[in-house]
Amino acid sequence: MKHDVDKLTLTPIGVIHSEHREPARTPIQPVCAQGVPGRVEVFPEYADGLDDVEGFSHLYLIYWFHRLEDLGEPAAERPRLKVVPYLDDVARGVFATRSPLRPSPIGLSIVRLVERRGTELLVEDLDALDGTPLLDIKPYVERFDLRLDTRGGWTDEVSPETFRCRGERRSERQ
């Protein structure tokens, strides 16, 4: 099938630095990485885009999963449309998961902004690997983003114990 847009070119605006060096030991979501510090380096040519960011307590980091080969999946088998998510033992549609093995391996994390230092952002609750290419930053705005009375699909059936054990995955500092 032919699409109007076959390929896109994305330009990183910076790099995410964290204590996470191994995918298998990296928390699967920011909520599983509470208090884990990190640093977001924004390239100098994008410095003006950081103006006013320090007024926000939380930011969305949008990034590229750059180390898929470290997950043990041969490139020929990616992307998969069915994956077994970290919190489950059943294959699910990839778009009903947050698996990095996606047609476009884009990641999304909400982190707490601790401090801005020029073109660097000190953050916490970071679940991204060290060296991850940063594609974009957007402010988290509770007034716009908070949704109540939501459904979590299959994740609603995951026990708190399973979530804790499979979600936190121990980093080097723990």
DSSP 138: E
Q: Which residue has the tokens 């936190």?
A: 168
* Whole-number pLDDT of residue 172: 44
Q: Which residue has the tokens 């000190």?
A: 122
CA neighbours closer than 13 Å in the CB half-sphere of residue 129: 18
Q: Cα–Cα distance between 36 and 56 in angstroms, integer?
A: 19
> What's the CATH number for 14-141?
2.40.30.70
Cβ contacts of residue 14 below 8 Å, gap of 6+? 40, 41, 42, 43, 46, 119, 133, 134
Cβ contacts of residue 98 below 8 Å, gap of 6+? 28, 29, 85
Kindly list the distances between the CA atom of residue 39 and the CA atoms of 14, 42, 116, 142, in Å, as whole numbers in the listed order: 11, 10, 10, 23
Here the tokens at position 104 are 């476009």
Residue ranges covered by each domain of the chain: 14-141
Determine how β-strand 132-139 pairs with β-strand 37-42. unpaired
pLDDT tens for 121-174 read 999 999 888 999 999 999 999 998 888 887 877 767 766 676 565 556 554 444
Where does the pLDDT of residue 71 fall: very low under 50, low under 70, confident under 90, or very high at 90 and above?
low
Q: Which of 36-45, 91-100, 127-136 is predicted with the least confidence, judged by mean pLDDT?
A: 91-100
* Whole-number pLDDT of residue 17: 96
The arithmetic mean of pLDDT across residues 77-96, rounded, is 80
Tell me the pLDDT of the chain averaged across its residues: 82
Determine how β-strand 82-83 pairs with β-strand 58-64. unpaired
Where does the pLDDT of residue 49 fall: very low under 50, low under 70, confident under 90, or very high at 90 and above?
very high
Percentage of the chain modeled with pLDDT above 90: 41
Q: Which residue has the tokens 């982190």?
A: 111
